Structure 1
Amino acid sequence: MRELLEAVADGSLSPAQAEAELNGYVTGEAGRFDAARDQRRGIPEAILAEGKSAEQVIALAEAALETTDRALLTRVSTSQFEALERHLTEAYPDATIDRRSTTIHVRTDDHEPPSLDATVGIATGGTVDGPIADEAAAVCLDAGATVDRVDDVGVAALSRTLDQLERFREADVLIVAAGREGALPTVVAGLVDTPVIGVPVSSGYGYGGDGEAALAGLLQSCTVLSVVNIDAGFVAGAQAVLIARAIDDARD
């Protein structure tokens, strides 16, 4: 405790960093950021931008950067990103900003990226599934895993799925995102001995086009796979990271 107080007094530790050390989280006007989640769960807290003002998004990103040297944001709108980018340009001019559709990953120069000896394969049925796959990929890359991405291999033309079969089999864990009837994850899971995480996507139209048909299809799969909620790219990425980390530990 005394060391923390002395560090705050001499300026080597900010009040937010001290609060994170003491409580595991830091409190601001926009809410509480769980700075200790990465140590506790192996996955950092992601800042869900949807439903928040640009000012709240910036404040939470600031809390993440100050306490963990990186920030992972999901469902970021164009206007939120523009405001965040303007703020970071001034406050963290040397920060690296990686934008993948609606997912943003920011890291300062002080952040030391981890490395995992494991490959996460990510596949999408169609281009429309891309933003959800981007969310999963950002989580995996943040953890230091190698990501092998294959897009637009839906089963409407099964040959394009089978063309990628060897890549699927080489991955340590697979995330497969698909909308409509959600067939791609179940087909892939029947062809590989790799753990498959299926992500139903809210793409399609008419009855079940909001992702419910895809979710039902994955839940009823006769091939063995895990299923996350509709559009839950972050959750799929987090589960893949936990598996990849266990594989990395076993290899060590």
Structure 2
Amino acid sequence: MNEISTILQQYKEGGLSLQEAETALKHEAAQHETGRIMDLGFAQIDLERKERCGFPEVVYCAGKTVGQSVRILSALMNKYTNVIGTRASREVYEKLAPDFPAVQYDDLSRMVYQFTDKTPINGDRIIAVITAGTSDIPIAEEAALTAEIMGNKVQRIYDVGVAGLHRLLAHCEEIRKANVNIVVAGMEGALASVVGGLVDKPVIAVPTSIGYGANFHGLSALLAMLNSCASGVSVVNIDNGFGAGRMAGIINGMR
């Protein structure tokens, strides 16, 4: 299916508004790669991201229409083996699936992705993804899948929060073997400090918006992690599993 047919089909199915379809059609004839940028009219795709940063541009789908997300991801999936769209709806996946048999969707993390090259880039060096509770798993899966698709070996250690410290201590050997630990926690966010006090490797803390009212949608966990007394703990933004997975992968790839 060529690009014009794709645009018309998306408009017919409601994925693009009339104005978006008109804009896309106007730019289709002039679509080009100038300075390694693909001009879609509503988006300028950076085609040098992989060469500069080691992985193609990742698409943040929240706030985009289904049609916009599909067109950007289609362009990337035609060019690269491994592609990620974060905070995507299942509808984006369903629109991509007929043209991209390898595309997958993960309901927990809300990630749509193409993962056809599974060659490990960073050998046997492990990234451990650890959660305080089961409710933190969606953010943890965003981190874990991101790291895996970017060529890392990932170990998941879930539901080992400080309310039952023996659960964490049972996994001490695995945690200490990891080259990088991602710790995902809401509520008071204490788990990152505890893990930071057990290992001699980097800890990336991910505060989540899980918790009751005084959690302030993750702000209390964020501040607790920023104020950690354990050295070697860095912190990403609230619910930013993707950012943690990406940073862990960069650290894991360093020699």
**Same fold by TM-score, threshold 0.5 exceeded?**
yes
For structure 2, the 5+ residue unaligned runs are 1-28
Count of aligned positions: 224
Identical pairs, percent: 39
Output aligned runs, 1:104-123, within 5 Å.
104-107=112-115, 111=117, 113-117=119-123, 118-123=125-130
TM-score (norm 1): 0.82
Partner Cα distance (2:36, 2:163) in 1: 48
Q: Does 1:191 align with 2:198?
A: yes
Partner Cα distance (2:78, 2:203) in 1: 35
Partner Cα distance (1:165, 1:67) in 2: 42
Partner Cα distance (1:112, 1:126) in 2: 29
Please report how far the alpha carbon of residue 112 of structure 1 lies from its aligned counterpart in structure 2 after TM superposition: 6.5
**2:50 maps to amino acid:** D
Output aligned runs, 1:111-190, within 5 Å.
111=117, 113-117=119-123, 118-190=125-197
Please report how far the alpha carbon of residue 96 of structure 1 lies from its aligned counterpart in structure 2 after TM superposition: 4.1
Deviates more, 1:62-71 or 1:234-243: 62-71
Deviations 1:173-228 (A, max 9, x none): 01000001100011001011111000111110112331110011011111011111
Please report how far the alpha carbon of residue 137 of structure 1 lies from its aligned counterpart in structure 2 after TM superposition: 1.1
**Structure 1 residues 28 and 112 mapped into 2: Cα distance closer, same or farther (>3 Å)?**
farther
> 2:14 maps to what in 1?
none
Q: Does 1:38 align with 2:50?
A: yes
Please report how far the alpha carbon of residue 38 of structure 1 lies from its aligned counterpart in structure 2 after TM superposition: 2.1
**1:154 maps to amino acid:** G
**Structure 1 residues 148 and 107 mapped into 2: Cα distance closer, same or farther (>3 Å)?**
closer
Partner Cα distance (1:89, 1:199) in 2: 31
Deviates more, 1:123-132 or 1:65-74: 65-74
Partner Cα distance (1:192, 1:16) in 2: 54
Partner Cα distance (2:212, 2:71) in 1: 37
Partner Cα distance (1:40, 1:128) in 2: 35
**Structure 1 residues 30 and 207 mapped into 2: Cα distance closer, same or farther (>3 Å)?**
same
Q: Answer whether contact 2:103 2:112 (CA < 8 A) is retained.
A: no
Q: Answer whether contact 1:30 1:59 (CA < 8 A) is retained.
A: no
Partner Cα distance (1:176, 1:116) in 2: 20
Output aligned runs, 1:91-102, within 5 Å.
91-93=99-101, 95-99=102-106, 101=108, 102=110
Partner Cα distance (1:165, 1:112) in 2: 28
Deviations 1:36-66 (A, max 9, x none): 2122122432211111111111111111112
> 1:3 maps to what in 2?
none
For structure 1, the 5+ residue unaligned runs are 1-14
Partner Cα distance (1:166, 1:227) in 2: 23
Partner Cα distance (2:119, 2:107) in 1: 18
Report the secondary structure of 1:237's partner residue: helix
Flag as ranges the 4+ runs of structure 1 deviating above 3 A: 15-18, 111-114
> 1:7 maps to what in 2?
none
> 2:213 maps to what in 1?
206
**1:64 maps to amino acid:** L
* Root mean square deviation of aligned Cα: 2.1
Partner Cα distance (2:245, 2:142) in 1: 7
